[in-house]
Each structure stands twice: as structure tokens, then as C-alpha cells.
A and B are shown apart, each in its own frame.
Chain A
């Protein structure tokens, strides 16, 4: 094997696609030398990552004044001044001619590639004197002034060895000479940089510094360098029922956002807005919907009442209840625990918590179940080959022996876990990979898009996925949510042993046994009754209306006994509408006659909406349809079922935490009131826990 093949490095960094990857993999397996090279490159890569990360970490927030000035410029000072400034900056036509098409190309590329860039925020220490790391590095050699314009097309030069060779003799001497100069320049830069940084800090407005303090307060409650990643959420807007009569989305049984949010509040800070996904908060709680009485895998319930935060509006609740399966009726399980044992998993609330969680699950296993344990860090491996559930001691011992170290090659672990799941596949049983991680895949395939494709491909073979997230400062929430989504799975966040017990013991069958997959909901609104509507949450689950009947489009799974709840805020026709809910009218079409809006009379039906559901059996390819029409009978929130009140309280709490523009008149106090009214019998105590959490949030907001 030729060690000078760049493919070898690409392989080590997991940048190869199949079939190249397999080819190199075989070649590497045959050569000890190549294997050593790959290992070393991986070790080097992970060491580089940590040094580069430290470089970012050491960087003090010197740009705070910059942030402020750009923001002011962008928001406050109006357009003329902004464009004048921009003209000053980009006066050269060259820049625009190159940059504009490039920017467009970059945006197109972005649409194709989901990038997995880590979010670097700042560590929490106070503002301190700058250590200019890069300025101390020896600079790149000073450039002789004779090649102006060359860098505009550096690739052209590189691609043309002849041209480069022709230039090199003249440039080589200055390059050699410049070594010493560069070294001097570097030390000079260093002192200049220090001086200017101190000056910059002195000038930074107090408000800007305070802004940073506040920001770091929110983003780094653990006091450490924080690389937690949350995807930005743009909330669903109100939509005009006439122009958009159909609302289509995929169900979601994830609950991670709730327990993650709870962890933030319990640690004394409000969560970052984008960590709050309202539908996951609502679905954290189990609602008392009746089970299906027919042979359908789930029952659909719809009810409505006035909307408590905007009383002229209606709140519609759609509830799904999966069929319960008694534990002794559960098919045999083939489980593969895929555990992240990398260095970042060391803290008590990570690997040790995961071990506890797994122990709880193992206690519940029967002799016809199978368990295997795959671990991954810098290299992945099989910690326990698949054995049956009656070997509890052996399983527990294997769990006990796990230790954390090294960097994280998640992709390799995922490959191995799915392979073992496939090798031990149980027909008509539960086949599931349970991934427990802080989500920081920093070796191998670290690109989010590639990881997701990997999981998606694996999920095609009826092996389901559960993702258990742990940890705080580097929680890759967005990656894990997407993995679960694409892997036909569910995602829960473990902030305590109690949460592990809820997910893995109390709701074991729901977590393990999928009873229907690709469950999609489409609601058709009657424009004669509904002026506009808004789906609360589910922003990451929206589908196109065409996707509903397209069985190729992936959607969420529902487990045994699971409940799924979606809320719509509906503005009835004739309701007084404040500007925030009014939908701006669209200009009449010039070339097509818009029949719906003008000529066709609206239906005289009293129905407000029709809920349609499509789902597939766990091993099926064709979807089945369930439909249900709903008429508004004018119920008040005061008389609404307790569960509806509680769900409304949770939704409003989420919207307040997100500081949503749709939160209406709601306050923490109102949320408390509705939650109290909606508490019901609360056998599990989760609702009491919610009420406690709202109180804490209220106190935090005040403080």
C-alpha cells in the first residue's frame, strides 16, 4: 500500500464515499504499515483538533465592540448609512465581480451540504488581557511586491506547474531571506497586538461588555468552554386558510428538549432559545387518550377550546395514542447498545449515568432477548458480543468495565452496531440500536450530513434507533435530533437517573417497540370557518402537502402506548385580529385566475377542519389512511379537559422561554395557573415537576 496516496488520509479522516472507502479499508487491513499510518493520522487529527480548539478558547471576547457596532449599523442607523459604509468598503469592482457569484455558489453548496460546524462560544472567565495566539506564530514570509494579482487565481498557478516553475527561481531567494524578517515581524506583531487589544478593551462600551457577560451566562452555565450546538428555529407563522388550506407535518415523539431545558433551569439559567422545541416539551407528558378500540395501531382524538393566551382564538388539540402492549406480549428484543466511551464522556452525568440507565434496562430483559454492547472512541470495538437476556451478570459486568478515553469516531461505531443488529436480526421482534452519547463525533465522519446519510442508509433495514443524549457543554443537540429522525428513531435527553427510568423502564415498550412508522398528519382547514391558523412547534417536522401521499417520504415513528400531541392556534373567521396574527394579503395573480379566492363560493359545511393521518406498519411499505372531521362546538378553556389545559400550559411556557412573538398575553403566572388546573391525578409526578420548573423560571426571570 502506497503511504503517499492522499486517499489514505481521506480514509483516516472518513472523507471517502463508498465504494472507495471499502476498497481502501480492505487495502489497509492487509498492510500493517498502512494501518499504523491511519492510526497515527487519526491520533494527529484529534490532537490538532484539541490544540486548535484551545486556540479559540484562549481568545478573549475582543470583538464585543465590533459586534455592537455591526449590530447598530445593521439595525439602528437605517439603510442609507449602511449602504454608504458598504460602498466605502467594497469600492473595487474586482471584489464584487468575484465575490457575488461565489457567494451564490457558496449558498448553493450550503443547501446541498449540511455543515456540521461546531459552535464555539466563549468560556466564562472575565474579560482579561489578550493573549494573541496567532500573532505569536511566525508569520508567513513577506511577499516580494512583484506578483500582484497572483492570489486572485491561486489555483490557476497551482494547476500549472510550468508557470510556477518559471516563477520560482526569482522568488526563492526572497523567500529564504524573509525567514528572519518573518520571525521579527511576528514578535513585533505580538506586542502591537497586545497594545491594541488593551486599547480596544478600554474603549469597549460598558454595555457591550455586559452584553457579553449576559450571553456567556446563558450559553455556558457549567463554567466551561461551551460547544453545545443548537439549530436555529424559525417558528411557524400564521397562515391564511384560504391560500394554505393544508397543513402537513410528521409526528415527533422526541422528548429531549424538555429534559435539556429542565437541566438549564435547574442549574440556574434560562435555556438558549433554540434549545427549546415546543413540540418536544408537549410530548414529554403522557396524556390520557383512550386506546384504539379497533385493530388500528393508534387512536386519534381531536378536541378544542378557546385559546387561553388569546381568547378570541381557538386552540385545537390533535392527540394520538399508540396501542399499549403488555410486556409479556412484547416480541423478543435484539438490542445493541452503542455507547460513546470517549474522553468527553468521563463526567459523572455522562458515562456513569449511561451505565446506570443501561443497568435499569438490562434488569427488565427476558431470556429470549439479546443484548450486545459496542463502544466507540478513537477506535470502536465490541465490548460484548450478542448474548441472551438471562446472562444478566455478564452484561452488567461488561457495562461495569467500560471506561472513557480518547476522541470519538462515532461513524465507525454506528457501522459496527448496525452490523451486529443485522447479524442477530429477530423477525417480528424488536430490533434496535440504542446510542448513548454527548454527540460529539470528532473523529472520522464528523460532517453532520454524512453521519445522517449513514444512519439513513442503515435505517432502511428495519433496525430502529434510540438516541440517548447526555452531557452539557458540548451537547450536539441538533446532530442527535437529526440522527434519531433519519434513523427511524426517538431521541431522549438524560439529565438524571429518574429520566432514564422514565424512558427505559416506565415507557420501555414505547421506547423499544415501534407500532407504526412514517406517521404523517395533514390537516385541511375550512376557509369558511377559519381565517388563519398556526401549528405550534414541529418546525423541524414540516412536510410539503405533496409529501403526505408520497410513501417514499420519511416521517416519525410511534411506539407502543406513546402519546403524541399537536396544538393549532386557529383564528376563526370574523375574530378580531391583532396585527401580529393578520396575514398580509397576496397580490391577485396576473396570469392565472385564482378561482378559490374570487369566484368559487365557500363551502357551507360547518366543519372547522379535517385531520388526516397516514402511517405504515413497522415492516410495511404502503401507507394506510385515517380521517376525521371536526366541528367547533364553542367550548371554553375553563371547561376544557385537564389534559388540554396542561398541554396549553406547557406550550405557552415553551413560547415564553423562546420569547416567541406568538406568546400572546401569557405570563409565567398564567402558565402556573393553567398547569395547576390541568395537573389532574399526576400519578407519576411529572406534572408537579413541571409546575416546580415554571416557578424556578419565574424566579430566574425576575432575578
Chain B
């Protein structure tokens, strides 16, 4: 196609600029290492560029997050480092676990909620991040995590319930948000 190369280049640049930081955050949460997350994101973009067959007016989010996730999990496998434990197992671990606030770095103003998020099982963290950082629908998240929209619903529900409960238990001194909305007449 005439002018195709230039257009693709521009589009590609825009895609990088739009998604690099969300992807870096995403890969970072999975791998737990910034440098490796960076490599994974770079590989994702190279693969995206190579896959020129993607139509330019598509929203590339699902594709990018899917590939980024595969690469990140691949790194975890090779490094034999962290794992997405079975959910049941994680739930068991959580029930014995106290809120490890004292273990958390508190002097930086990391979002209070995000610090609670970090105590949740990995897959729950992942759905929260895809939903609330990247504004993806249940179905998109399901596609990325290779599961069903139903299961995404269960994960999110469980995660939000846990957040709500822990927030209530431990947040008496913090008021990052009002948990109820106001009704107007």
C-alpha cells in the first residue's frame, strides 16, 4: 500500500508511547523485576511491529497485554522464580496471613489501597490491574488471562471483597476514599 511504511511507523510509535508504561507496570507486577519487565515490554513491541498484519485502526490493547503476559510468564519459568500458585493454595496462605503493613515501605506515599492490593494473590492483583489501571472489560481480561469472563468476575469479586474487608480492618487512620457515593435529589 502506498505510504504504508510511514503510516505504520507513526502508528507504531504512538502505540509504544501509549502502552509502554502500562505494560511495564503490568509485566513488573508479574515478574517482580524491573529490568526483566523492561526486556519483556521491548520484546512485545518488536513482535507487535513485526506483526504488521494488525489493522491500524484496531485497539491493540488485548493483543499487547496478551503477548506481554506470555513473555513475562516465560521469564518466570526460565528463572524458576515466582509463580502463579493455584488459587486455592493462595487463599489458604492468605487466611493465615496478617496484614503485613509493618513489612511495607510506608514513608513513600504509595496509594494506600495499592499496598493492600499487593497483599492479594497474584491473579487477583492481575485482574485488578487490568480492570482498573487499563480499563479493560471482563471479556478482554479473560482473553488475556486465557480464562472465562465468568472466572474474571469471580476473581474481581473476591479481590474487591478482600480489599473492602481489609480496608475496613486496617484503615482507621487513612481515609483515601469515601466508600459510599452521594445521592442527589
Q: Which residues of A contact B (CB under 8 A)?
A: 4-10, 13, 15, 36, 39-56, 59, 61-63, 66-67, 69-71, 73-75, 82-83, 85-86, 89-90, 92, 95, 98-99, 102-103, 105-107, 109-111, 113-122, 131-145, 147-152, 154-155, 157-158, 161, 164-165, 167-168, 171-172, 175-176, 179, 183, 185-187, 189-190, 192-193, 196-197, 215, 231-232, 234, 237, 273, 375, 377-383, 405-406, 442, 446-447, 449-450, 580, 584, 661
The number of chain B residues touching the other chain, given as a range, is 35 or more
- Across the interface, do A99 and B70 meet the contact criterion of CB distance under 8 Å? yes
Check if B183 is an interface residue, CB within 8 A of chain A.
yes
Bound form: Cα–Cα A164–B91 in Å: 12
Q: Which residues of chain A have C-beta atoms less than 8 A from B74's C-beta? A: 92, 95
* Given A6-B157, A71-B13, A109-B143, A47:B177 Cβ within 8 A: yes
Dominant SS at the A interface? helix
* Given A167-B86, A179-B100, A580-B2, A99:B180 Cβ within 8 A: no
**The residue from A43, A63, A147 contacting B21, defined by CB atoms under 8 A apart:** A63
- Across the interface, do A73 and B88 meet the contact criterion of CB distance under 8 Å? no
| 55-91 of chain B: CB within 8 A of chain A | 55-63, 66-67, 70-71, 73-74, 76-77, 80-90
Bound form: Cα–Cα A186–B54 in Å: 37
Bound form: Cα–Cα A450–B139 in Å: 12
Dominant SS at the B interface? helix
**The residue from A69, A106, A143 contacting B81, defined by CB atoms under 8 A apart:** A143
- Across the interface, do A115 and B136 meet the contact criterion of CB distance under 8 Å? yes
Q: Which residues of chain B have C-beta atoms less than 8 A from A7's C-beta? A: 153
- From A661, which residue of chain B is reached at the shortest CB distance? B3
- Across the interface, do A171 and B2 meet the contact criterion of CB distance under 8 Å? no
23 chain-A/chain-B pairs, Cβ below 8 angstroms: A4-B161, A9-B156, A10-B138, A10-B157, A46-B177, A48-B128, A51-B112, A51-B114, A51-B176, A55-B114, A56-B25, A71-B13, A74-B9, A85-B46, A86-B47, A106-B63, A115-B140, A118-B134, A121-B17, A136-B110, A139-B32, A154-B84, A383-B184
Q: Which residues of chain A have C-beta atoms less than 8 A from B119's C-beta? A: 138
* Given A98-B70, A137-B114, A41:B184 Cβ within 8 A: no
**The residue from A95, A155, A449 contacting B70, defined by CB atoms under 8 A apart:** A95
Write the B130-170 contact mask toward A (1 if CB under 8 angstroms, else 0). Answer: 01111111111001111100110110111011011001000
- From A70, which residue of chain B is reached at the shortest CB distance? B45
Most buried by A among B83, B105, B134, B158: B83
Q: Which residues of chain A have C-beta atoms less than 8 A from B89's C-beta? A: 164, 167-168, 171-172, 175
- From B139, which residue of chain A is reached at the shortest CB distance? A113
- Across the interface, do B49 and A70 meet the contact criterion of CB distance under 8 Å? yes
Bound form: Cα–Cα A682–B14 in Å: 39
- Across the interface, do B177 and A43 meet the contact criterion of CB distance under 8 Å? yes
**The residue from A46, A59, A73, A118 contacting B24, defined by CB atoms under 8 A apart:** A59
Q: Which residues of chain A have C-beta atoms less than 8 A from B61's C-beta? A: 110, 115, 117
- Across the interface, do A39 and B21 meet the contact criterion of CB distance under 8 Å? no
- Across the interface, do A139 and B82 meet the contact criterion of CB distance under 8 Å? yes
Bound form: Cα–Cα A10–B160 in Å: 11
